[in-house]
Structure 1
Amino acid sequence: MKRTATAVALICAAALTLSACSDDTANQASTGGGSGGAGGGEIDPTAPLDGVELTFWTAQNTVNAADQVIEAFEEATGAKVTTEAIPDLYEQNVPTRLASGERPDLMFWQPSISTLPFIQPQQNLLPLDDEPWVDDLGPIEQSLGVIDDTRYAAIVTSPAMLGVYYNKDVFAEAGITEDDFPTSYDELLQLGHRVQDETDAAGFYEVGGDQWPLQWQVQVQLTDLPDSWWEGLNRNEESWTDPAVVDAIEKYNDELLGAGLAQEGYRTATFTGQAEALWEGSSAMALNVTSFQSQLQAQHSTEEIDERIGWFPIANSEPRGLYSPDQTNGVVAFATGDEERQNAARQFLAFWLGPDYADFIDARKIPSVQPDVPNPEGMPQTAIDQVEELADAHGVFQAKAIVAPNMHIALAEMIYGERSPREVAEYVENEFDDVAGAQGAEGF
Structure 2
Amino acid sequence: MNSTRIRRVLLAGVGVAALAVPLAACGSSGGNADGKVEITFLTGNTGTNVEVAEALIAAFEKENPDISVKLETQPAGTEGDNLIKTKLSTGEMSDVFYYNSGSLFQALNPDQNLVALDDQPWVDDLIDTMKDVVSTDKGIYGAPFGATQAGAVVYNKKIYADLGLQIPTTWDEFAANNEKIKAAGITPVIQTYGDTWTSQLFVLGDFGNVLAQDADWASDYTAGERKYVDEPALQGFENQQEGFDAGWWNEDYASAVYDDGARMVATGEGAHYPILTGIVSTFQQNYPDELDNIGVFALPAKKAEDTKLTVWLPNAVYIPRTTEGDKLEAAKTFVAFINSPGGCEIQTTVMVPSGPFATSACALPDDVPGLLTDMQPYFDEGNTNPALEFLSPIKGPNLENITVEVGSGIRSAKDGAALYDEDVKKQAQQLGLDGW
Show the counterpart of 2:383. Answer: 392
Partners of 1:220 and 1:316 within 8 A in 2:
no
- Is residue 167 of structure 1 aligned with residue 156 of structure 2? yes
Q: How does 1:170-181 map to 2 (within 5 A)?
A: 170-173=159-162, 175-177=163-165, 180-181=166-167
Q: Residue 279 of structure 2: which of 292, 300, 307 is its match? A: 292
- Is residue 278 of structure 1 aligned with residue 265 of structure 2? yes
How has the CA–CA distance of structure 1 residues 220 and 43 changed in structure 2, closer, same or farther, with 3 Å as cutoff?
same
Supply the distance in 2 between the matched residues of 1:46 and 1:256 (Cα, whole angstroms): 63
Supply the distance in 2 between the matched residues of 1:123 and 1:439 (Cα, whole angstroms): 20
Supply the distance in 2 between the matched residues of 1:45 and 1:373 (Cα, whole angstroms): 24
Supply the distance in 2 between the matched residues of 1:130 and 1:442 (Cα, whole angstroms): 34
Could you tell me which runs of 5 or more consecutive residues in structure 1 were left unpaired when the two chains were aligned.
1-5, 7-41
Partners of 2:39 and 2:331 within 8 A in 1:
no
Show the counterpart of 2:370. Answer: 381
How has the CA–CA distance of structure 1 residues 45 and 118 changed in structure 2, closer, same or farther, with 3 Å as cutoff?
farther
Show the counterpart of 1:31. Answer: none
Could you tell me which runs of 5 or more consecutive residues in structure 2 were left unpaired when the two chains were aligned.
2-20
Q: Deviations over 1:82-121 (max 9, x none)?
A: 253524xx2x333222355474444443322x33223333
The alignment's C-alpha RMSD in Å is 3.6
How has the CA–CA distance of structure 1 residues 337 and 436 changed in structure 2, closer, same or farther, with 3 Å as cutoff?
farther
Show the counterpart of 1:429. Answer: 421
Q: Deviations over 1:227-261 (max 9, x none)?
A: 144443233222233254345314413x2134332
Partners of 2:98 and 2:318 within 8 A in 1:
yes
Q: Give the SS at the match of 1:115.
A: helix
Partners of 1:163 and 1:312 within 8 A in 2:
yes
Q: Give the SS at the match of 2:118.
A: coil
Q: Give the SS at the match of 2:233.
A: helix
Show the counterpart of 1:98. Answer: 84
Show the counterpart of 2:249. Answer: 262
How has the CA–CA distance of structure 1 residues 68 and 206 changed in structure 2, closer, same or farther, with 3 Å as cutoff?
farther
How has the CA–CA distance of structure 1 residues 288 and 85 changed in structure 2, closer, same or farther, with 3 Å as cutoff?
farther
Q: State the one-letter code of the partner of 1:263.
A: N
Partners of 1:46 and 1:76 within 8 A in 2:
no
- Is residue 354 of structure 1 aligned with residue 364 of structure 2? no
Q: Residue 44 of structure 1: which of 3, 16, 23 is its match? A: 23
Supply the distance in 1 between the matched residues of 2:205 and 2:287 (Cα, whole angstroms): 28
How has the CA–CA distance of structure 1 residues 239 and 123 changed in structure 2, closer, same or farther, with 3 Å as cutoff?
same
Partners of 2:37 and 2:326 within 8 A in 1:
no
Q: What TM-score do you get using the length of structure 1 for normalisation?
A: 0.74
Q: State the one-letter code of the partner of 2:282.
A: Q
How has the CA–CA distance of structure 1 residues 122 and 208 changed in structure 2, closer, same or farther, with 3 Å as cutoff?
farther
Partners of 1:207 and 1:270 within 8 A in 2:
yes
Aligned pair count reads 392
Partners of 1:153 and 1:332 within 8 A in 2:
yes
Show the counterpart of 1:142. Answer: 131
Q: Residue 191 of structure 2: which of 197, 206, 218 is its match? A: 206
Q: Give the SS at the match of 1:285.
A: strand
Give the fraction of aligned pairs with identical amino acids, expressed as a percent.
Answer: 21
Supply the distance in 1 between the matched residues of 2:25 and 2:178 (Cα, whole angstroms): 53
TM-aligned CA deviation for residue 300 of structure 1: 5.4
